[in-house]
């Protein structure tokens, strides 16, 4: 069984990547083969609106016809047992790289039918990990939860059961003295990274365990 994680952050060794690695450790602890893919290493764009994936009897029906760095990735998705997406929140949504990836990942399997359905060939479990510089209260005030809920709805519609994990008020800079960010109290940020972020890592690990388990908790 294969679990694939997709890092939608430009940073490979910071909050989002760390949580994805912990989730994969959880999946690996249950015997899964795992892979972490950094989306910023790949050359691709979002959906081109060619509708080849919707053209009946076409060679690309139900598949993205664009040939780029995502093409072999989507072949791996077809064989995966679980997918884990991860992204920081930029301006209220996942990063542009993750948004473009999600367009290409989900649209080919999304038929124009009522009620809404999917043509993905089977059910798999998915998870989405978000990191936010904002506190949970700030995120709710600004409506970030609507974006998170919508992503979960799409993943559930296409693939099956899905869950989300949010890591709030993350430590954003290696050295706060070098950036102009008077809104933040570096000492409080550092304390939260020391005391709360490890708890988020444990939650990510447990997500990975659940994604390969027989039961959905």
pLDDT(26) > 60? yes
Query: What structural domains does the chain harbor?
Result: 2-212 (3.40.50.360)
pLDDT(169) > 80? yes
Q: Which of 18-22, 53-57, 150-154 has the lowest mean pLDDT?
A: 53-57
Task: Tell me the HSE value of 9 on the side-chain side, using a 13 A CA sphere.
Answer: 22
pLDDT > 90 in the chain, percent: 65
**125/91 Cα distance (integer angstroms):** 28
Name the pTM for this structure.
0.90
Q: Which of 9, 4, 16 is nearest to 167 (CA)?
A: 16
Which token pair is 98? 């993750």
Q: Please check whether residue 9 is in contact with residue 86, taking contact to mean a CB–CB distance below 8 angstroms.
A: yes
pLDDT at residue number 178: 82
Q: Sign of the C-alpha dihedral, residues 119, 120, 125, 129? A: negative
Residues 6+ apart with CB under 8 A from 94: 8, 87, 88, 102, 130, 147, 151
Q: Which of 131, 126, 209 is nearest to 166 (CA)?
A: 131
What b/e sequence results for 92-117 when a residue is b if at least 16 CB atoms lie within 10 Å of its CB, and e otherwise? ebbbebbbbbbbbbbbbbbeeeeeee
């Amino acid at each position: 069984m294969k679990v694939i994680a997709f890092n939608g952050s430009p940073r490979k060794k910071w909050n989002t990547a760390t949580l994805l690695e912990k989730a994969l450790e959880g999946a690996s602890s249950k015997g899964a083969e795992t892979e972490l893919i950094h989306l910023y290493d790949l050359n691709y764009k979002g959906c081109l609106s060619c509708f080849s994936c919707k053209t009946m009897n076409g060679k690309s029906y139900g598949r993205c016809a664009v040939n780029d760095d995502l093409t072999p990735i989507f072949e791996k998705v077809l064989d995966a047992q679980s997918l884990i997406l991860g992204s920081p929140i930029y301006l209220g949504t996942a990063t542009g790289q993750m948004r473009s990836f999600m367009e290409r990942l989900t649209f080919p399997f999304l038929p124009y039918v009522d009620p809404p359905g999917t043509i993905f060939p089977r059910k798999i479990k998915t998870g989405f990990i978000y990191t936010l510089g904002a506190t949970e209260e700030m995120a709710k005030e600004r409506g970030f939860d609507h974006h998170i809920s919508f992503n979960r709805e799409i993943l559930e519609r296409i693939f099956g059961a899905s869950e989300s994990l949010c890591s709030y008020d993350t430590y954003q800079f290696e050295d706060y003295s070098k950036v102009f960010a008077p809104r933040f109290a570096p000492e409080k940020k550092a304390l939260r990274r020391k005391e709360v972020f490890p708890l988020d890592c444990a939650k990510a690990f447990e997500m990975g365990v659940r994604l390969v388990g027989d039961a959905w908790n």
